[in-house]
Amino acid sequence: MHILITGGAGFIGSYLAEALLNKGDHVTIIDNLSTGSLDNLGSIGNNDRFEFIYGNILEIPALEYLVTKSDMVYHLAAAVGVEMVVKNPVLTIQTNVKGTERVLEAANITKTRVLLTSTSEVYGKSTKQTFSEEDDLLIGSPSHSRWSYASSKLLDEFYCTSYYRETGLPVNVVRLFNTVGPRQTGKYGMVLPRFVKSALEEKPLFVYGTGKQSRCFCHVNDTVSALLGFLEVGSFGEIYNIGSQESCTIEDLAKKVIKLTGSISPIEYVPYDKAYAPGFEDMLHRAPKIEKIGKLLNWKPKHTLDRIIRDVAEYYRKQ
């Protein structure tokens, strides 16, 4: 199959590209390297079934040609990372909404399959402990920039499901919960790479807020195995959570990282206002229900959090 990955030079996209090439597919990546990097593609650069195209999905004229000649598009290109989103709310909305619009418009010409990577952020401020795909969503006010990411991804979801309903475009939407692993950069606010890097450098681990907020961390290889599963199944127009169910508070995550890396780093607490922006809002718990994707693909994550932390630490040590 010929697969196009938008944002394929990013963290998740680069693993996805490797996995697709390993199983014999042809892969084209389009990426503007805004948060991605050619280093992520080091292992596949010379593969003759692989092509990299530098370009911005918002304006590159070749997007339509690239989409229409593909059997499937994994649409990952997006503005990501809380720090990045809070600082660049306009760019976030433009990238996520206009970019998806262009991909869907092109895909609709040939009815090319599209998989959109949405996010658990769309569940917003709901105080539920675990989130299921049919839940109502509680997104915060537009006076807080951080919600521009969730809102833009939610609009993407509506775009996808609407295209499916109105035109029959074969689309899948997945909501990724925190996906982590080697190669993820901590530059844009991602917590695990930040913690591991600080621990290895014996620098303080900065926990934002009280640290009592909990998250579930899924190994990128588990996420990619779920993404690959969508090549084989139909079930279009549906939304699926993808994530681990092993919940951990951010404070405990910091302690675990320190223990598993043998570090002597201290933990320091930073109020959200200082870490991000005045009035920053966060959700206390965020864990997925994964029965729906489990039933569709017989999928569940295999990697424990300890294993993930060890993998990320090994990656940084090698760097």
Residues found near ligand NAD in the complex (CB under 6 A): 7, 9-13, 30-36, 56-58, 76-80, 95, 99, 117, 119, 176, 178-179
- Clarify whether 123 is annotated catalytic: no
* Residue number, 99 or 211, with CB nearest to ligand NAD: 99
- Least separation in angstroms between residue 309's CB and ligand NAD is 15
Classify strands 239-242 and 50-54 as parallel, antiparallel or unpaired.
unpaired
* Residue number, 12 or 106, with CB nearest to ligand NAD: 12
Give the residue from 115, 225, 243, 239 showing the smallest Cα distance to 177: 243
- Least separation in angstroms between residue 65's CB and ligand NAD is 16
Q: Which of 123, 149, 164, 208 does the annotation list as catalytic?
A: 149
Q: Using alpha carbons, list the distances in angstroms from residue 153 to 160, 166, 231, 263.
A: 10, 20, 22, 37
- Least separation in angstroms between residue 81's CB and ligand NAD is 7
Give the residue from 109, 114, 93, 102 showing the smallest Cα distance to 5: 114
Task: Name the token pair of 69.
Answer: 């000649």
CA 124 to chain centre: 16
* Residue number, 179 or 261, with CB nearest to ligand NAD: 179
- Least separation in angstroms between residue 174's CB and ligand NAD is 9
* Residue number, 11 or 164, with CB nearest to ligand NAD: 11
Residues annotated catalytic, as ranges = 149
